[in-house]
Structure 1
Amino acid sequence: MKLLRWIRNLFAALLVVGICAVAVLVWQGYSMYSKAVSETPVSRMVEEVREKENYTPLEDLPAIYRDAVISVEDHRFYEHGGFDFLATGRALWNDIKTLSLAEGGSTITQQLAKNLYFTQEKKFTRKIAEVFLALELENKYSKEEILELYLNSIYFGNGCYTVREASLSYFGKEPSEMTDYESTLLAGIPNAPSVYDLTENPDLAMQRQRQVVEQMVKYEYLTQQEAETILA
């Protein structure tokens, strides 16, 4: 009985310590978020993106490109409010198993938040700040606006930070002119720009493209026959 009581008390103590640790991390993350937006409001950061010389409206991008990005980056984009509990829970479990922060489970909105304010450093505090900012973005902007801002603020490798710069650099054409093949190829690059840079590693970029197309089939943006035609 004494052993059982000791185990129960130990479990309770560990639970309290865990809750306190999470509370501290959440507070630190919220503080980081508050400091960031107090120094530069979200509206100002958004305007800076929209003022880019190569900013491209969403309607000027091929539908298949938009679908490819959503399929491979955040297939529940239109269902969540900026933070995807399912994706985060899955990523957290994998991180615990590997004792790393290899998987982030970040939504497109969270990635936009990171691009606007934070570094690429993988820390729990920054991830929490990112969530608070993602919630604010979802409250102030539509899904279409968020996707458009995201595609004009991510890194595509080869010195390209907008979809137009990437399309011109890699294919020598405007984004609206990209073929299905080029659209699915470009959609995979931001996951690891240095790895999938078309000028440096075209074979790896095409391997990533196959993953993109497979995701599009999985989430019913493409049929298997359409996917095979694109890859052929």
Structure 2
Amino acid sequence: MHHRIRETRLGAALLEAADTLSEAFDTGLYLQRLSDHCVDLLGASAAGIMLIEGGETVSLGVSSRQQRLAQDLLEVQHHSGPCLDSYGTGQPVPPIAILAAHASSRWPDFTQQALRYDIDTTFAVPLRRNGTRLGALNVFVPADGEHPAPDRESGLRLAQVLADAAAVGLTNHRTVARHRTLTSQLQQALSSRVRIEQAKGMLAERWRTGADETFTALRQYARRHRLPLHDVATTVIEGTEDAEGLARERPAPS
């Protein structure tokens, strides 16, 4: 691949890796697109990304080219494989010949499957951000690729650049998603508080009593019937409350 073309494609890949803040963000599609970029840039048969959390695989994303191949080679890495090694150490697994790895009994299940698919070489790089490991990117290279591939050292560096960009994008997405969730929870809590205050005021006017007494009645009714306080308040506002039941929860006059 001509250097200028590769640089243009790398720029497009990095731009896409950063585009993770949309509410319509799809993790699976994102991982697939980055895997596709790896295949194009590295002259590989296929590539895939394994996201890991708490030692457990939480998501897989594979290139659209040779999708079955990549899926099988990621899924077979239950206990050992280049992805798990790279994730476990936080360091790249340099290009290694599948035949050599198989002969030395390194990743036996993985190498056996890779040989069935005529994969010549594999390597993996970690997805890491500020000391936090998110997973690993695994690249599968045939003996004769459709396109000229960069040399092994350049290919490994290029894969790490893409993996680092993906780690930044995924970390930003998770941070924004947490903030959105927190904002939604705060908005719900505020809305609930407003409705409860409104219901207290309506009952206080109806019963000609103080807000503390009406709040006690609302709370007691909610507990007795195992209902959210917000739901009980909503029935008061909408005029569908159990008036007699609420009245029975009024504190006795002191």
User: How does the TM-score come out when normalised to structure 2?
Assistant: 0.20
- More strand, by proportion: 2
User: How does the TM-score come out when normalised to structure 1?
Assistant: 0.22
- More helix, by proportion: 1
Question: Which of structures 1 and 2 has the larger relative contact order (alpha carbons within 8 angstroms, sep 6+)?
Answer: 1
